[in-house]
Amino acid sequence: MKTLTPDKPSLTPTIVKRPAQERGQTELGWLHSRHTFSFGDYFDRSHMNFRALRVINDDVVEPGQGFGEHPHRDAEIFTYVIDGQLEHHDSMDNGSIIKAGDLQYMSAGRGVFHSEYNPSPDKPVHLLQIWLKPRMGGGEPRYAEKALGSAALPNSLTLLFAGEPKPGAVETRADADIYFGKLDAKRSVTVHSGPERGTWIHVISGSLDVLGESLEPGDGAAVSGSDTISIDARADSEFLVFVMK
């Protein structure tokens, strides 16, 4: 007797673009911020998060200004400096200056205080601050820095952070893998996500095509229902990719 095996359900890839110009805004004179998801005084019920990804703030901080000491808990916090420098201090006794092209990771755990300032007297700092929800709350705070430098391979995805031990990556408490993408014009790269995971792409510079959508600097896109995603560059491009449960 022949046993029939049900067909594996086919995946239907979907992409939802988050245009840069539609993001929320905060203007404080010293801070110019664009919010991909609801944050602070900006609230939009249709843009609260994407899976574990809770915050992408695109910030420009004026010279000599910054965020005074403030607390966090139960958040995985990533900072990528696009241009300029950012000075960091925290209650774990970490103190450093993060330069353009480098990243910082802080797991707030059960609680941490930190401050962030632009140490330059005359040049703004442009950065992305990103928060992901951890798999569970609590735990000791953690801190790490990731200098890209030559590790950011051209026409490739460079794994920066991972939710489990992986070669070359900083392990985090979020169920997510975070990649830095770098493509020359007319080159492409493939993201392998798996059917139960979603992918968020955030464009830092350049111009990308993903599943028929054109993405420019500041644009984001949520992709679901696809094992693999092709990212094609129309110009030299840099971007972040989050693959999450």
Q: What is the pLDDT of residue 5?
A: 40
What average pLDDT does the chain have? 93
Tell me the C-alpha distance between 122 and 137, whole Å: 40
Tell me the C-alpha distance between 83 and 207, whole Å: 18
Spell 145-168 as b/e; 16+ CB within 10 A means b.
ebebeeebeeeebbbbbbbeeeee
The encoded tokens of residue 76 equal: 């995985």
Say whether pLDDT at 228 is over 80: yes
For the residues 86-94, what does the mean pLDDT come to? Answer: 96
Say whether pLDDT at 146 is over 50: yes
Tell me the C-alpha distance between 200 and 51, whole Å: 9
Q: Give the class (CATH, top level) of 14-244.
A: mainly beta
- Comparing CA positions, the residue from 15, 9, 46, 70 lying closest to residue 224 is 15
For residue 106, how many C-alpha atoms fall within 13 Å in the half-sphere facing its CB? 27
Domain-wise residue ranges, the chain:
14-244
Strands (E), the chain: 14-18, 24-27, 31-35, 53-61, 66-72, 76-83, 85-90, 95-99, 102-107, 112-117, 125-132, 142-147, 156-162, 170-171, 176-183, 188-192, 198-210, 213-215, 220-224, 228-244
Q: What is the pLDDT of residue 152?
A: 81
Say whether pLDDT at 88 is over 90: yes
Say whether pLDDT at 202 is over 70: yes
